Amino acid sequence: MASMEYSIQYRRADALERKNYAHWHAVESMPLADLKKLQEEKLVAQMAYLKERSPFYQKKFSDAGISFDEIRTVKDLQKVPFTLKTEIRESLKAKPPFGLHLAADMEDVIQMQASSGTTGSPSYVALTQGDAEMWHEMNARCFFASGIRPGDMSLHGFALAKGFVGGVPITQSMQYMGVIDIPIGADGGADRLLRAAADVRPRVLAAAPNFAVFLGEKAPDILGVEAKTLGIEVVLVGGEPGGGIPAIRQRIEEVWGAKCCEMLGGTDMGVAYWGECEKQSGMHMVGMDYIITELLNPETGEVIPFEDGAEGELIYTAIGREANPLVRFRSGDHVEVLGTKCACGRTGPKVRCIGRTDDMLIIRGANVFPSAIQSIIGDMTPETNGVMRVVADFEGHTSQGALKVIVERGPDRSPGRDKELKKSIETHLRNSLAFKADVRIVEPDTFEKPGAVKVALTLREYPDL
Ligand SMILES: [Zn+2]
């Protein structure tokens, strides 16, 4: 059959041919020294672009007394001050809709997305055609790494309705790589999603981890069959911690009878650019030709190398981005480097996300992430139900007292042993995370099961229980 020429490409012309490739793109296995060279070439071009086009960075560089021309290497970037989320918000407010950091002409913007934003109005981000393709390409690399292949069908379990990048861009990227996205969305509800899973029998489910568990557990009620009979082989999760929490991942794999891999990213730079390969030993950086990533030790303020065991916050610089390019953006994501080599051949470092700066509490000087607490409580099933909430009923993020943690008892456990359980959890938390907890045990199912919403692990007031 003669192939038709389209002026607009929805699916890459060669998508289906890539099915048996080792990686979606050859750059994923490129030696790091070559990648660095490529990054620095693109960095020089990006600086020249910002010098000409970005009012935001023109001011920022001039305020800092640095010139764009002197930033030529990854190391040189350390001279540039960070870009903070608060600055992005102010920039958007100062010049709606896409801020002072819009560096492309409005007529070249073809798409926009919104991010949830922790307070008030959402944050908006603009994409040119080139930016959109960059997003699709990085997503495709993540999807492919996790075992998704051209020709698959994927049930869309992330929210579709709110303009988040888990919505339309996921659909576009699946299409780009030759996957048929089933566009129901978390907002479509569990009934509709499970019905589609039964009717269409996709190989892939993509959803937030807590929602993937919820959906799987609902299958017997809604369809009269276990989720694991539906033929899902890959559950791709992201958007909140959970995929990296062993108990949650294990539950997803159990209930769906499928392999669970996770991805990590963020709206300011794309959708996903850290993708976990089928070895399931951390998420690889798969977009090194589009993003320069630095690892920052938040305590010392030093940039540290990506070495096994290193921990820090991810700092991103876009290279080759047109509409809303950012330099040294503080992502707020704290990660641990799990490895720099992998049997899959990808050369990007592997990380797991420990938590977000926004969620971090400082309890008597110890940095504590609620997701880390959840991980430990999750490992204590069946004694616990794996469900917990942290009560941060103090000003700000710092407390000198013990941190209040409410934990659900395991469904088959007797309340008579609560005292013992409380003690054992407090000991575990102290030994693993070096902080003092004041644990209260409550009935199973005290807290609402996750629906389409993300789970907030931290409560700012003590609940009425
Ligand atoms: Zn790998």
pLDDT at 240: 83
Residue 362 binned pLDDT confidence (cut-offs 50, 70, 90): confident
Q: How far is the CA of 29 from the centre of ligand 1 (A)?
A: 10
Strand 153-156 to 180-182 pairing: parallel
**Section 385-392 average pLDDT:** 92
Q: How far is the CA of 109 from the centre of ligand 1 (A)?
A: 35
Spacing of C-alpha 32 from chain mean position:
23
Which residue in 327, 281, 347, 277 sits closest to 36, CA to CA?
347
pLDDT at 83: 97
Percentage of the chain exceeding pLDDT 90: 79
> Is the pLDDT at 453 greater than 60, yes or no?
no
pLDDT at 371: 84
Give the burial class of 270: count Cβ atoms within 10 A of its Cβ; 0-12 exposed, 13-18 middle, 19 or more buried: buried
pLDDT at 285: 98
Q: How far is the CA of 362 from the centre of ligand 1 (A)?
A: 33
Q: How far is the CA of 361 from the centre of ligand 1 (A)?
A: 32
| Contact criterion met (CB below 8 Å) for 280 and 344 | no
> Is the pLDDT at 455 greater than 80, yes or no?
no
More confident residue, 177 or 452: 177
Report the range of poorest mean pLDDT among 79-83, 185-189, 195-199, 392-396.
392-396
Q: How far is the CA of 391 from the centre of ligand 1 (A)?
A: 37
> Is the pLDDT at 200 greater than 90, yes or no?
yes
> Is the pLDDT at 250 greater than 50, yes or no?
yes
pLDDT at 379: 87
**Section 410-432 average pLDDT:** 92
Q: How far is the CA of 105 from the centre of ligand 1 (A)?
A: 39
pLDDT at 3: 53
> Is the pLDDT at 441 greater than 90, yes or no?
yes
Q: How far is the CA of 349 from the centre of ligand 1 (A)?
A: 9
281 three-state secondary structure: coil
Residue 115 binned pLDDT confidence (cut-offs 50, 70, 90): confident
Residue 136 binned pLDDT confidence (cut-offs 50, 70, 90): very high
pLDDT at 4: 58
Residues forming a β-bridge with 303: 296
Taking the C-alpha atoms of residue 145 and residue 152, their distance in angstroms, rounded to an integer, is 14
CATH of domain 361-459: 3.30.300.30
> Is the pLDDT at 209 greater than 90, yes or no?
yes
Sign of CA dihedral 426, 428, 429, 431: positive
Q: How far is the CA of 346 from the centre of ligand 1 (A)?
A: 6
**Section 27-54 average pLDDT:** 98
Taking the C-alpha atoms of residue 459 and residue 462, their distance in angstroms, rounded to an integer, is 7
Q: How far is the CA of 30 from the centre of ligand 1 (A)?
A: 13
Q: How far is the CA of 127 from the centre of ligand 1 (A)?
A: 30
Q: Ramachandran region of residue 18, left (φ > 0), alpha (ψ -120 to 50) or beta?
A: alpha
Q: How far is the CA of 139 from the centre of ligand 1 (A)?
A: 16
Q: How far is the CA of 147 from the centre of ligand 1 (A)?
A: 11
Domain parsing of the chain, residue ranges: 21-356, 361-459
Q: How far is the CA of 299 from the centre of ligand 1 (A)?
A: 30
> Is the pLDDT at 15 greater than 90, yes or no?
yes
Report the range of poorest mean pLDDT among 111-120, 220-229, 396-405.
111-120
> Is the pLDDT at 72 greater than 50, yes or no?
yes
Q: How far is the CA of 152 from the centre of ligand 1 (A)?
A: 21
Report the range of poorest mean pLDDT among 179-183, 319-323, 364-368, 460-464.
364-368
pLDDT at 182: 98
Q: How far is the CA of 277 from the centre of ligand 1 (A)?
A: 5
pLDDT at 396: 81
Q: How far is the CA of 56 from the centre of ligand 1 (A)?
A: 37
Residue 367 binned pLDDT confidence (cut-offs 50, 70, 90): confident
Q: How far is the CA of 144 from the centre of ligand 1 (A)?
A: 11
Residue 161: CB atoms within 10 A of its CB come to 12
Q: How far is the CA of 442 from the centre of ligand 1 (A)?
A: 40
More confident residue, 448 or 278: 278
Report the range of poorest mean pLDDT among 52-56, 325-329, 395-399, 438-442.
395-399
CATH of domain 21-356: 3.40.50.12780
Q: How far is the CA of 276 from the centre of ligand 1 (A)?
A: 7
Q: How far is the CA of 114 from the centre of ligand 1 (A)?
A: 31
Residue 1 binned pLDDT confidence (cut-offs 50, 70, 90): very low
pLDDT at 244: 85
Taking the C-alpha atoms of residue 236 and residue 204, their distance in angstroms, rounded to an integer, is 7
Which residue in 428, 337, 329 sits closest to 381, CA to CA?
428
Taking the C-alpha atoms of residue 116 and residue 125, their distance in angstroms, rounded to an integer, is 12
Q: How far is the CA of 273 from the centre of ligand 1 (A)?
A: 14
Q: How far is the CA of 23 from the centre of ligand 1 (A)?
A: 10
Q: How far is the CA of 333 from the centre of ligand 1 (A)?
A: 21
> Is the pLDDT at 25 greater than 90, yes or no?
yes
**Section 159-170 average pLDDT:** 93
Q: How far is the CA of 394 from the centre of ligand 1 (A)?
A: 42
